[in-house]
Amino acid sequence: MKIKKIETFPLLHRLSAPYGDANGFKKYRSCYLIRITTESGIDGWGECIDWLPALEVGFKERIIPYLIGKSASDRLPLIAVIQKWHRRSAAAVSMALTEIAAKSARLSVCDLWGGKWRDLVPVYASFQSYSDRSDWIDHSLGLVEQTLASGFTMAKVKIGGRAFQEDLSHIQSLQSMTGERMPLILDANQSYDTAAARKWEKYLSKWTNLLWLEEPMPLNNLPEYKLLRASLSVPIAGGENIKSAEQFLPLLSTNSLDIIQPDILHGTGIEDFRDAMQLARHFGVKVSPHSYDGALSRLYTLFAQASLSPWTKMDKENIEPVEWDVMQNPFSELVPLKPFGGHVSLPDGIGIGIEINQDLLDRYRWDGSSYYE
């Protein structure tokens, strides 16, 4: 089962209006897909995220020449080499080779991993709340209202990118609009120190619909996280930028977080991503994976969550929700999968069980022009 061909699909979409979080505005969305095909005609798709020129050069000049002629069944050794060069590229290769392994065995990805615990996985609508509009709060509320009307039942919104009182006005308006009945996540993108984060407790303690507070502070000070966790009345989540299962160990062993949030695209591949999830289970910690930057990676995240053992026998839902990007992003349509009633029903065909939208690959293919500002 030797690798015969590798195709790359760098994709770019310039947004009609910028949106963002506490880290700033996004003016474009990008995506990088690969397709690996073996000599026997079995193919598999993978995805990564980074600056497109760097990814294209890296694949064309180093990764593809290295992989051509190698056995696709040597997934782990191949990924171990590529991750030394570029870990995000290794993530894409791991997805593609995983699908090839599943197809060659005539299994779905979940069956390759040992089977699903569930066919439905809950998802929450993930918003980038800030815009350059003077009425950004009203605009944000309108987006949330529209998305809830489409069938989502949970949402994540941003804080930390404006002065405290302005952010508070946004959240209070949102709570008033929904009657505090919508399960809600507040994400600060590591923008506070401990004192600033504690200012929210006066309000967090009164709101009964909050699922968690996400990354209120930089994750490089775990003692402060542990102190903050002890002083807040809501769970604390984080870890989207952590690069390996091993790096989650300090957070778990010091009881610094209630929920960890690994991201396939920020690590070294699907195997290490699943190791992080299982590691959390060994520590009795919840896992709600971060999955904002890509539709194919989100599908693999959903597969992994469906294959993850329940956190507790006492929870009726018994599995934590997965992030679902609801902002303007045509690449969400690359994988034709839609939530219904706040859940996603997973495909169970061979491999990933679903076809990539080829029309979008042609429509949004990056032309090589400059786009980074």
- What pLDDT is recorded for position 371? 82
Is residue 11 predicted with pLDDT exceeding 70? yes
- What pLDDT is recorded for position 370? 87
Is residue 6 predicted with pLDDT exceeding 60? yes
Rounded Cα distance, 109 and 225, in Å: 36
Cβ neighbors of 353 (< 8 A, separation 6 or more) are 108, 109, 346, 347
Q: Please write the tens of the pLDDT for every residue from 209-235.
A: 999 999 999 999 899 999 999 999 999
Rounded Cα distance, 93 and 67, in Å: 10
Q: Please write the tens of the pLDDT for every residue from 59-85.
A: 999 999 999 999 999 999 999 999 999
Rounded Cα distance, 56 and 34, in Å: 10
Catalytic residues: 158, 290
- What pLDDT is recorded for position 317? 63
Q: Which of the four pLDDT bands, split at 50, 70 and 90, describes residue 177? A: very high
- What pLDDT is recorded for position 315? 61
Distances (CA, A) of 314 to 139, 288, 317, 319: 39, 18, 9, 11
As a whole number, mean pLDDT of residues 45-66 equals 97
What residues does each domain of the chain span?
A: 3-108, 111-345
Q: Please write the tens of the pLDDT for every residue from 291-328.
A: 999 999 999 999 999 999 998 766 656 799 999 999 99
Provide CATH code, domain 111-345.
3.20.20.120
Assigned CATH class of 3-108: alpha beta
Q: Please write the tens of the pLDDT for every residue from 195-209.
A: 999 999 999 999 999
Judge whether 3-108 and 111-345 match in fold. Answer: no
